[in-house]
């Protein structure tokens, strides 16, 4: 269990990370390299696997956490639009206290996301970060309508699909305010709001936390058993991913 009493700065940093999901996203395609963002170079995409990023994997800050700063190979990250899908909260909680995102079918919606073009080594690292928790499948989506920012289209690509399904609040999925979409069908909320909602939702259950929302979030980070119990509770009534896909790993 982490000792959060070392400094208030450590606690504040942890809370900011939990609440800030999916973090700051660029407005256009870019290349991530060694913790820096440089202009997009399409020639770097050759020979790589396109993987749809639906949550924090779109963000330079998260790529830095996953791939480090020293001698890291560049990762092209290309803006795209995906038809008939949205990004909503998944029915699980990350080890760093956020409620993560997952793709979900949403007829008539068009969501703005990014494709990460990963080489074999980067894909292995990304799979490790996404699959070891057993919260996602690495799958292939086929017969989808994806438009890249250069005007070209894709009909299939890989993505991480939430295994536990979509979190429901008041009987419906909740979209992420930090991710833009047209013709969105569901209410949207930021992660800070979702964590506060979960804190209130658990008040009348055995998992109620007698403290502030901030204390609740810190407990989710510190206490693996409590976090997993909350995940099990969130899974009750969760809605499975509503689009057929082929499981590749996980």
Residue (of 35, 19, 80, 75) closest to 54 by Cα position: 80
169 band by pLDDT with thresholds 50, 70 and 90: very high
**Among 18-32, 57-71, 95-109, 118-132, whose mean pLDDT is lowest?**
57-71
- For 50-99, the pLDDT digits (tens) are 999 999 999 999 999 999 876 679 999 999 999 999 999 999 999 999 99
Q: Which residues contact 40 (CB under 8 A, 6 or more apart)?
A: 28, 29, 30, 31, 76, 77, 78
CB 175 within 8 A of CB 169: no
- What average pLDDT does this structure show over 183-210? 95
Pull the structure tokens for residue 24.
Answer: 């700051």
Counts of helices then strands in the chain (DSSP H, E): 6, 13
Which pLDDT score is estimated for 236? 86
Which pLDDT score is estimated for 71? 63
Domain boundaries, the chain: 23-188+239-249
CA dist., res. 189 & res. 236, Å (int) = 20
Residue (of 107, 98, 139) closest to 231 by Cα position: 98
Q: 23-188+239-249: what CATH class?
A: alpha beta
What pTM was computed for the model?
A: 0.94
DSSP letter assigned to residue 58: G
């Amino acid at each position: 269990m982490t000792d959060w009493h070392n400094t208030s700065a450590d606690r504040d940093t942890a809370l900011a990370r939990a609440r800030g999901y999916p973090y700051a996203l660029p407005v256009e395609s870019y290349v991530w390299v060694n913790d820096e963002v440089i202009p997009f170079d399409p020639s770097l995409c050759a020979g790589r696997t396109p993987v749809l990023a639906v949550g924090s994997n779109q963000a330079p800050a998260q790529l830095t956490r996953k791939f480090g700063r020293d001698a890291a190979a560049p990762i092209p990250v290309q803006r795209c639009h995906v038809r008939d899908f949205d990004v909503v909260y998944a029915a699980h909680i990350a080890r760093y206290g956020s409620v993560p995102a997952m793709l979900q079918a949403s007829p008539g919606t068009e969501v703005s996301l990014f494709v990460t073009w990963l080489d074999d080594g980067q894909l292995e690292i990304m799979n490790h970060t996404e699959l070891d928790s057993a919260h996602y499948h690495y799958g292939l989506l086929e017969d989808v309508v994806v438009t890249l920012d250069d005007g070209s289209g894709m009909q299939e690509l890989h993505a991480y699909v939430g295994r536990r399904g979509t979190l429901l609040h008041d009987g419906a999925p909740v979209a992420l305010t930090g991710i833009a979409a047209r013709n969105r069908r569901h209410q949207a909320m930021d992660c800070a709001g979702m964590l506060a909602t979960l804190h209130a939702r658990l008040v009348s259950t055995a998992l109620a936390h007698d403290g502030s929302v901030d204390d609740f979030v810190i407990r989710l980070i510190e206490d693996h058993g409590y976090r997993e119990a909350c995940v099990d509770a969130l899974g009750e009534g969760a809605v499975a991913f509503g689009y057929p896909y082929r499981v590749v790993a996980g």
